Chain A
Amino acid sequence: DVKVTQSSRYLVKRTGEKVFLECVQDMDHENMFWYRQDPGLGLRLIYFSYDVKMKEKGDIPEGYSVSREKKERFSLILESASTNQTSMYLCASTRTGGAEQYFGPGTRLTVT
């Protein structure tokens, strides 16, 4: 059974802080994704990674960066948090050649 975990379910940060969101999967998946979910906007892709140390921009990468030093771990970094980054953040993974994305439980981030 695939397991994708995220470091926090709820997080409150102040404007300007550097924020780290971590995602870990235990199924040896090559591909990992970070989305943000906002009402009426669906799931929007921030960054994704096909392999260790590789990353590609999604549709809304501005204000974010990522790190993938190990295959099982994909981190999303908010360099300087702003209030418009208040959102639900979802991580997902899938194997190369696979189809189904397996999602983590999400981190609800509030920036005040």
Chain B
Amino acid sequence: GENVEQHPSTLSVQEGDSAVIKCTYSDSASNYFPWYKQELGKRPQLIIDIRSNVGEKKDQRIAVTLNKTAKHFSLHITETQPEDSAVYFCAASVYNQGGKLIFGQGTELSVKP
């Protein structure tokens, strides 16, 4: 079955710097790659996703890139702010297979003012 590896497990940056979180997946059939953000004490929420027919997607300060050949995808956050501090999870799935997601281990991002 699918396996998703996420790195790093913790990341500390200064406010205004960029942050990059990387994931690899094992199942070449996976074609949907969402990212979830979980603030302390709150539920995970989708922040951005990408499907395998595109290589990059942007939404304001966040972007996701996908390399299907290498089975890598990454989350990029520019101009980080303290409110970006949270745990970020990547996931992979085969789209339209009932929404079943396989999550990575999570990255705890800390943005220092």
Contacts and interface: CB of A to CB of B under 8 A. Distances in A.
Interface in B13-34: 32, 34
Interface residues of B, number: 23
A106 B43 contact: yes
Contacts of B74: none
A40 B101 CA distance: 17
Most chain-A CB neighbours within 10 Å: which of B9, B89, B95, B105? B105
Contact of A42 (B1, B42, B43, B89): B89
22 contacts: A30-B98, A31-B98, A42-B89, A42-B104, A43-B44, A43-B103, A45-B100, A45-B101, A45-B102, A48-B98, A48-B100, A59-B1, A90-B43, A90-B44, A96-B98, A98-B99, A99-B49, A100-B34, A100-B46, A101-B99, A103-B43, A103-B45
How would you classify the secondary structure of chain B's contact residues: helix, strand, loop or mixed? Answer: loop
Interface string A19-50: 00000000000110101000011111100101
